Amino acid sequence: MTKSPFRHLRLRDAGTLLGLLLIGGVFAVLTPVFLTAPNLLNILQQSSINACIALGMTLVIISGGIDLSVGPVAALSAVVGAALMVGGAPIAVAVLAALGVGMLCGLMNGVLITLGGLQPFIVTLGGLSLYRALALIFTGGTPIFGLPDGFRALTNGTLLGVPNPVVVVAVLALLAWVVLNKTPLGEYLMAVGGNAEAARISGVPVTLTKLAAYMISGALAAVAALILLGRLGAAEPTMGNLWELDAIAAAAIGGASLMGGRGSIIGTLVGCIILGALRNGLTLMNVQAFYQLLATGIIIIVAMLIDRATAGKEGH
Amino acid sequence: MTKSPFRHLRLRDAGTLLGLLLIGGVFAVLTPVFLTAPNLLNILQQSSINACIALGMTLVIISGGIDLSVGPVAALSAVVGAALMVGGAPIAVAVLAALGVGMLCGLMNGVLITLGGLQPFIVTLGGLSLYRALALIFTGGTPIFGLPDGFRALTNGTLLGVPNPVVVVAVLALLAWVVLNKTPLGEYLMAVGGNAEAARISGVPVTLTKLAAYMISGALAAVAALILLGRLGAAEPTMGNLWELDAIAAAAIGGASLMGGRGSIIGTLVGCIILGALRNGLTLMNVQAFYQLLATGIIIIVAMLIDRATAGKEGH
Amino acid sequence: QDLTPLNSDAEPDRMDWSELEARFGPMPETPAGTKVGGVSKTLTNEYWRSLGEGYANVAKAEGLEFVYQAAQSEGDQLGQLSIAENLITQGFAVLLFSPQTDANLIPAVEKAEAAGVPILNVNDAVIPSAKNYVGNVQKGNGVNVAQWFIDNRPDGGKVAVIEGQPGVYAAGQRTAGFTETITAAGNFEVVASVPADWSRELAFNAAATILQQHPDLIGFYANNDGMALGVVEAVKAAGKAEQVAVFGTDGISDAYAAIRAGDLTGTVDSFPVLTGEVALEVALRLLAGQDLPRVVATPQALVTADNVETFATSDMAALRAALLAQ
Amino acid sequence: MHMARLTLTGITKSYGPVQVLHGVDLTVAKGEVHGLLGENGAGKSTMLNILSGVIRADGGSIAVDGAPVTIASPQGARAAGIAMIHQELQQVPELTVAQNMYLGRPLRRLGGLIVDRGTQEARARAVLAQLDPGIDPAAPVGRLRVAQRQIVEIGKALLGNARIIAMDEPTSSLTPTEFERLVQVIAALTAQGVSVIYVSHKMDEVFRLCQRATVLRDGRRVGQVDIADVSPPQVIEMMVGRELAQASHRSFATGQVMMRVQGLTRGRHVQDAGFTLHRGEVLGVAGLVGSGRTELMRLIAGVDRAEAGTVEIAGRVVPQGVRARISAGLGLVPEERKREGIIRHRPVAVNMALPSMRLFSRLGITRAAHLNRTAETVMGDMQLRPLAVRRAIGTFSGGNQQKAIIGRWIAARAQILLFDEPTRGIDVGAKAEIYALIERLASEGHGIIVVSSELPEVIRLSDRVLVMREGRIAATLPGPEITEANIARHAIPATRP
Ligand SMILES: Nc1ncnc2c1ncn2[C@@H]1O[C@H](COP(=O)(O)OP(=O)(O)OP(=O)(O)O)[C@@H](O)[C@H]1O
Ligand SMILES: Nc1ncnc2c1ncn2[C@@H]1O[C@H](COP(=O)(O)OP(=O)(O)OP(=O)(O)O)[C@@H](O)[C@H]1O
Ligand SMILES: [Mg+2]
Ligand SMILES: [Mg+2]
């Protein structure tokens, strides 16, 4: 029995990992603090929000779509959840409401894309304005402060020394990995992204599959929002600015094809850590903002070139 | 001889026009100033920069790619051109240099995409950081003032009462239309975006075609930068923020498919005017900031739905 | 220990920067080589670069080790948070934060507190839990401009506001200060108040459209100088430079040039270099154990053609003198 | 024979560790039609793709008219006088027929700046007139039916005055009439000294057209034959390495109605179609290209929505929609394998399991081991070569891809199978296997519909034949009446438009 699909996965992900090791190696040499345990935990913690968003983005991208609206969806979930908590609702209710808002936004994106027959890029571009506007209107533009300590404790605690957000995102990543690789939904996502027409004729529930992808993306945006909510202790309607670009970059660095049909959870996670490590290392080296921007641009492209060079060996 | 390709084009564009008429109609009823000649010219003038960018974007999208880096490319061209002018170089030299910078950036994008085999989205996402960083480093972050009046007169003049930028963009649009519909390059662009494999097998110079698309996009970004340079009298390294989204939205509203192979110059122009009219009308009505954002999101989606409803009749 | 959430514009426990020396004496000695750091919004805006210059001036004078970092772009909230967190572990004696939003640096503030690193909130967005804040009164920017119109255009008339990014604290406060003050005067009407997202191009377009609709407009107030300079071009293109007064906010060097050239009517300068100097001085005083009020207000002045030369100095001592003389 | 027009010597090619051509020689004389034969995956397309510059050989040499040439690109091949008709349609749907025919080498005017569409269309029309005058050179190619698109591909190869034309299954979706026109065109070409390399799985065509043939097996040259000296079974034996038994029609039809279709209508394409299908029956559907056979299958399978009419299975009307029809036991093997059939990057096993993921999952988790085991059983049964069910389906030859798609419905335990051109592009060996499979399915009580443009196939398989004409069912022929003449009589409209 050949193991080729597995080898395939491993080789792609190995390329991404190689990129991470290279970047990590350079920083380790340049600044001694980089490789210390607290700093590595720090990088993981800082990458956790992007990772949360990027998990959903990866599923959406695999299904052949894209979700530009994640940031504003996060903001809308955050302000609704926070308003409920501040208004005295039990934490569980507020959390569920935030998740509900995220999934509702995802549902709306998904419905416009599937039943409306619109292009995902343009639907979620519209959503980018729409959901942000709703968050601003809901709050009148001012942040909501005064979240209960019980809620904040959830995100600021640690489990065996690992910050809770990292634990939560690790669990979600495991779930996403299982969904993608071990469930019918995962197969459907790859089939729909790989060849929607063939999938439809084969009886794949194309509409439901896409709806699921966007709803998962919305829900994960809400989770990211809740994590950040706990960390900040405040819900801002401007939360989530530019999150979509970071998440897409992470997924792409991790080997997802924006044409759909291909992507890897492990690759995406490594992609997130690459971006986080980059930011961390550049700050530690006290690189000026303009040069940080320069380095970000270069590293994204170089990471892709490394990935590409590794993938090339598979004969793609 | 049947004219089906023309009918095809006209029907799509008619859908977009219908969207424009609807939006225009609503504003005309709500604010009397909207339909006056000076205001309509005003809308055209304000749409001209987005139109210039969107022309290049349309060609890139038709070729199956995307160019997220247009804004920073414009900024880099602008600051180089402005620095030369302020440094005393002849206007023509500065203009050519700006165009050269734009084309060079486009070439770099194109080379990474074709020879590097990377995804356009991610290459130009990297470019988005990279070129912006270069513009910021080049200027130290400060705008360049003091452009010669001779240069500014070029963009602030009028021809038969029509502002020069509008004239320039109209000429460029005509050129783009000819390129797309009448020249080998236009066919190659459609072929590469419609079916890259078939194009390659038929001997279409796929690499050169894509390079051309990105270089044209870069050059048009430079033109847009020059127009704005003349109008504002200053070259800012932060110029062109979010231009890519406006241009993509215009192209998509105009019927371009982000999967490649389809798009229309006329549609894109109408799309630009829709977005320009929207902004103009909302300002005239003094709509509060949050609701402007809301309206923008809703209109983008509604315009796409109208377009889609019209296109649906073609059986696509 | 429990602090009320800070509102920098309304906090009663405050003082003006000019009283620092009088009330708390000369600058205390700081051990040479002490590490201080600043985290600011972005370097793409001259305002924040100038603030850093102010920090650097003091750091150099006192012989401190100094690090100044900023997010990659305006609005990069998480990026700025990462930077702030990464600095906390580096052994700084004090950190000066200028956050992107009111909330985005809260975790860093808490982390710093846990690590025993004092934090000073400098300008713009206000961290509600900040123990100390140095900066100007955002609302005051708008009030200053409105006051100019009330004083110089006694007949009243139509005015318009070009706002910054929707939802940003400074934009909201500046607009509110202007609109509330000028409306209270009775004979002015704010006919338009629209967002241009800090963009010169969008400000140009919005101003052109507004002038189209209200040819008798007498003035614009823009939430920052970049947008004001865009408005100036639109006003000139409409041939209404005589009729329409244009004001910005921040006092960047280009605004000064435009005021000298007679293009821009005025700006509310909040003297970023001086603010930076004052901020680091306050930080060092706090380090030395001085018990300063929670808010130290930094200077701000309406700059017009009348007084532009007074304020257009890079000699901070002279500037301090000029401001103190006001 | 004179000097060879084309000589390929010792051509080798590997994909990663897999060598697919082992030093293959091929010699084609001037004015000859030379067959290139072999089972699916034997390496025929690979040879022709090397010849036409689409892929590079790892080793070997090519000579045209005795002079060695290096062919590094499609343009290079064209410059050497070589044109090719590809096995898969290689067209840009958005461009017109003429634009597609001149793709990569447009005619120009105004100093080369502008595409001379007028002349392109005139010349395209002239070439197409020999094959199918009904094709409008100014229409977007995406609007044409598969058969017409294939004719456009043939026309494209005829345009450039090539000395060598390689045809990789040019007739896979053509009707006999269209094949006859192609025969005449090829005769005219060879009379002018043009050489043709002809790849086909249809033995009758090969024996009609070719003078000689080279036979490949597993990437090696088995031999070259003079067609006049051999019989089809001999050639087939060379291809597959064993003798294939010829079988005749066997019926397993019962009187029990499985499916009743009534009044099915969609625009002009299908009008008021009605028939019944019985348990164990194989129902053939014949008709000219464009007569609406594919559309009828899509309506029954729920892929397209019917404007009127019902599909009744086991006495119950099944609502519209693919999923509803699949649950009722229907399965469609579509006509365009690449576009409608396969998910290229996914393994064969997954492609097979798509409609039946429910069977392969428990508590929402995929039972991967069970899936792979089933796939190996099902695909092993169907002689998938190589039997690597975890390899991406895109790396298999067309015939083997088709097997996986048929296996899809076997795994899903569909009761009624709709085959739309099931053996298009499939070699004789596999074809016999598929016929046997269809018979086995019928014997097990499945109901089967086979749409085919190959009349021998329809006749060989069917218990009854529906003949379609211009969107309507023109006739239903019971067993004894199934003859080529009868089918043709009902299929051809009284007056052609
Ligand atoms: N890109 C590829 N990567 C890996 N293997 C490939 C690739 N393309 C073809 N092959 C393999 O090369 C072999 C020869 O394929 P080829 O397409 O030449 O066969 P063929 O004789 O044309 O078959 P058919 O009659 O089905 O068209 C097959 O085993 C096929 O799986
Ligand atoms: N996508 C489409 N757009 C427009 N017309 C179509 C489309 N698909 C099919 N048709 C038309 O529907 C009719 C029936 O076509 P269909 O493909 O069902 O015929 P067929 O007998 O299966 O022929 P073929 O052998 O080409 O598959 C034809 O007149 C064809 O032109
Ligand atoms: Mg083949
Ligand atoms: Mg058919």
Contact D331, D415 (CB under 8 A): no
- Whether the CB-CB separation of B230 and B141 falls below 8 Å is answered with no
B163 vs D182: CA distance, rounded Å: 60
| Per-residue pLDDT at C30 | 86
Give backbone dihedrals phi and psi of D132, rounded to 5 degrees, phi first: -160, 100
Q: Do B116 and A298 touch (CB under 8 A)?
A: no
D99: left (phi over 0), alpha (psi -120 to 50) or beta: alpha
Residue C235 confidence (pLDDT)? 94
The burial class, CB within 10 Å (0-12 / 13-18 / 19+), for C112 is buried
d(C-alpha B272, C-alpha C301), whole Å: 41
Q: Which ligand is nearest to the CA of D18?
A: 1
Min distance A265 CA to chain C CA atoms (Å): 22
Confidence of residue B11 (pLDDT cuts 50, 70, 90): low
* 3 state DSSP class of A211: helix
- Answer positive or negative: Cα dihedral of D191, D192, D193, D197: negative
| Spatial CA neighbour of A245 closest among D300, B104, C75, B206 | C75
**Ligand 1 pocket: which of D12, D13, D20 to mutate (most atoms within 8 A of CB):** D20
Domain residue spans in chain D? Answer: 4-240, 257-491
pLDDT of residue B313: 44
Question: CA-CA distance, A290 to B165, in Å (whole number)?
Answer: 32
Pocket-forming residues, ligand 1, beta carbon under 6 Å: D 15, 18, 20, 38, 40-46, 87, 395-399, 427
pLDDT band at B7 (very low <50, low <70, confident <90, very high): very low
**Cα–Cα distance, B202 to D147 (Å, whole number):** 20
Query: Per-residue pLDDT averaged across D395-413, rounded?
Result: 88
Residues of D in contact with A199 (CB under 8 A): 343, 354
Weakest mean pLDDT among C299-313, D10-24, D229-243? D229-243
CB-neighbour burial class of residue B313 (10 A; exposed 0-12, middle 13-18, buried 19+) = exposed
Residue D140: cis peptide before it, omega within 30 degrees of 0: no
C-beta separation of B155 from B230 below 8 A: yes
Long-range contacts of C19-23 (CB under 8 A, 24+ apart): C20/C278, C20/C281, C20/C282, C20/C285, C20/C296
CATH code of the region D4-240: 3.40.50.300
* B309 reaches A (C-beta below 8 A): no
Q: Give the angle A122-A126-A130 at the CA atoms, nearest 5°.
A: 165
Alpha carbons B184 and B192: distance in angstroms, whole number: 12
Secondary structure letter of residue C18 according to DSSP = G
Q: How far is C170 from chain A (nearest CA, A)?
A: 11
Tally the C-alpha atoms within 13 A of residue D445's C-alpha that lie toward its C-beta.
5
Which of B43, B76, B241 to mutate to probe the C interface, most C CBs <10 Å?
Answer: B241
Q: What's the mean pLDDT in C184-194?
A: 92
Candidates D266, D290, D267; CA nearest to D135 is: D290
- The DSSP H or E segment spanning D306 is none
Q: Which tens digits make up the pLDDT trace of C247-264?
A: 999 988 889 999 999 999
Does the beta-carbon distance from D326 to A195 stay under 8 Å? Answer: no
Residue D263, both tokens: 């009044």
Tell me which range, A55-64, B259-268, D186-195, D483-492, is most confidently predicted by mean pLDDT.
Answer: A55-64
**CA torsion, ordered B29, B30, B31, B34, to nearest 10 deg:** -60
Atom of ligand 1 nearest to the CA of D49: 18
Distance CA C222, CA C202 (A): 12
Q: What is the pLDDT of residues A112-164, one digit of tens each?
A: 999 998 999 999 999 999 999 999 999 988 889 889 988 988 888 888 888 99
Q: Which residues of A touch C138 (CB under 8 A)?
A: none
Q: Tens of pLDDT along D69-123? A: 999 988 899 889 999 999 888 899 889 999 999 998 888 888 878 899 999 999 9
- pLDDT value, residue A53: 97
Alpha carbons A290 and A296: distance in angstroms, whole number: 10
Would the CA dihedral through D336, B264, B238, A78 be positive or negative? negative
Q: How far is the CA of C243 from the centre of ligand 2 (A)?
A: 70
For tokens 């009320």, the residue is C4
Residue carrying structure tokens 């009707």:
D175
DSSP state of D86: -
Which ipTM did the prediction report? 0.86
Helix count and strand count (H, E) for chain D: 16, 24
Residue indicated by tokens 């091949």: D77
Q: What share of chain D is helix, strand, coil (3-state, %, to 5)?
A: 35, 30, 35
Contacts for A142 with CB less than 8 Å, ≥ 6 apart:
A237, C172
pLDDT tens digits along C86-124? 888 888 999 999 998 888 898 899 889 999 999 999 987
How far apart (Å, rounded) are the C-alpha atoms in residues C237 and C233?
Answer: 6
* Residues of chain C found within 8 Å of residue A293, distances taken between Cβ atoms: 72-73
Predicted pLDDT of residue B8: 47
Residue D234 and residue D250: Cα distance in Å, rounded?
25
User: Do chains D and C have 3 or more beta-carbon pairs under 8 angstroms?
Assistant: no
pLDDT at A10 over 80: no
pLDDT at residue A312 is higher than 80? no
DSSP state of D340: I
Among C42, C53, C200, C229, pick the best mutation site for testing chain B contact (most B Cβ within 10 A): C200
- Contact predicate C287/C30, CB 8 Å: yes
Identify the weakest region by mean pLDDT among A239-248, B202-211, B304-313, D188-197. Answer: B304-313
pLDDT category at A50 given cuts 50, 70, 90 is very high
Of the candidates C5, C86, C166, the beta carbon closest to that of A136 is on C166
Q: List the single residue in C46, C212, C229 with the smallest CB-CB distance to B141.
A: C46
Q: Is the pLDDT of residue A6 over 70?
A: no
- Quick one: which of A188, A204, A201 has its CA closest to D341? A201
**Is a pLDDT exceeding 60 seen at residue C19?**
yes
Q: Alpha helix locations (H) across A239-264?
A: 243-253
Domain D257-491 annotated CATH 3.40.50.300: yes
d(CA B217, CA D233): 60
d(CA A159, CA A166): 9
Contacts of B130 in chain A (CB under 8 A): 293-294, 297-298, 301
Q: Which residue has the tokens 């005295």?
A: A88
Average pLDDT over residues B175-200: 93
Report the neighbours of C using a cutoff of 3 or more CB pairs below 8 angstroms. Answer: A, B
8 Å CB contact of B304 and A141 = no
- pLDDT exceeds cutoff 50 at C26: yes
Count of residues in chain A:
316
Q: Does the pLDDT of residue D497 top 60, yes or no? A: no
Question: Which pair of structure tokens corresponds to residue C78?
Answer: 């998480």
Interface residue C15 vs chain A (CB under 8 A) = no
In this model, does residue C2 exceed pLDDT 70? no
Atom index in ligand 2 nearest the CA of residue D297 equals 18
Residue D493 in this model has a pLDDT that exceeds 80 = no
C213 contacts B33? CB cut-off 8 A: yes
Taking the C-alpha atoms of residue B314 and residue D35, their distance in angstroms, rounded to an integer, is: 43
What's the rounded mean pLDDT across residues B185-189? 94
Q: Residue B282 corresponds to which tokens in the numbers above?
A: 């909302």
Inter-residue contact C243 to C267 (CB < 8 Å): no
User: Vertex C306, ends C303 and C308: CA angle to 5°?
Assistant: 45
- Residues found in chain B: 316
* Bridge partner residues of B247 (DSSP): none
pLDDT of residue C1: 47
Sign of the torsion formed by the C-alpha atoms of D208, D209, D210 and D211: positive
Distance of CA D58 to CAs D20, D133, D335, Å?
11, 42, 34
- Residue pair A73/A239 in contact (Cβ under 8 Å)? The answer is no
Q: Read off the pLDDT of each residue in B55-70 and give the average, rounded to a whole number.
A: 96
pLDDT over 60 (residue D411): yes
Q: What share of chain B is helix, strand, coil (3-state, %, to 5)?
A: 75, 0, 20
Q: How far is D359 from chain A, CA to nearest CA, in Å?
A: 10
Chain centroid to CA C5: 20
* Secondary element (H or E) of residue B283: helix B265-284
Distances (CA, A) of C89 to A30, A37, A39, C105, D232: 17, 12, 8, 15, 82
Confidence of residue B311 (pLDDT cuts 50, 70, 90): low
pLDDT of residue D288: 80
**Rounded-to-integer distance, Cα B285 and Cα B301, Å:** 21
Q: What is the CA radius of gyration of chain A?
A: 19
Which one, of C308, C217, C300, C298, lies nearest residue C263 by Cα? C308
Q: Closest ligand to D296 CA?
A: 2
Q: Cβ distance C248 to C264 under 8 Å?
A: yes
Give the number of whichever ligand sits closest to the CA of residue D46.
1
Does residue D197 have a pLDDT over 60?
A: yes
Q: What's the average model confidence in pLDDT over D267-275? A: 93
Rounded Cα distance between C142 and C173, Å, is: 8
Sign of the torsion angle spanned by Cα atoms D151, D152, D153, D159? positive
Split at pLDDT 50, 70, 90, the class of A11 is low
Angle at A110 between CA A105 and CA A116, to 5 degrees: 120
* Torsion over CA: D172, D176, D177, D182 (sign): positive
Residue written as token pair 């989205």: B121
Q: Nearest CA of chain D to the CA of B33: how many Å?
A: 42
Summary mean pLDDT of chain C:
90
Cα separation, D457 vs D424, in Å, equals 11
Q: How confident is the model at residue A306 (pLDDT cuts 50, 70, 90)?
A: confident
pLDDT of residue B190: 93
Could you tell me if C167 and A238 are in contact, meaning their C-beta atoms sit under 8 angstroms apart? yes
Cα angle value D404/D405/D410 (rounded, 5°): 90
Encode pLDDT of D430-443 as tens digits: 788 888 888 989 99
Using 50, 70 and 90 to split pLDDT, how confident is the model at C75?
A: confident
The whole-number pLDDT of residue D246 equals 65
Domains defined along chain B, listed by start: 9-310 (1.10.3470)
B289/C166 Cβ within 8 A: yes
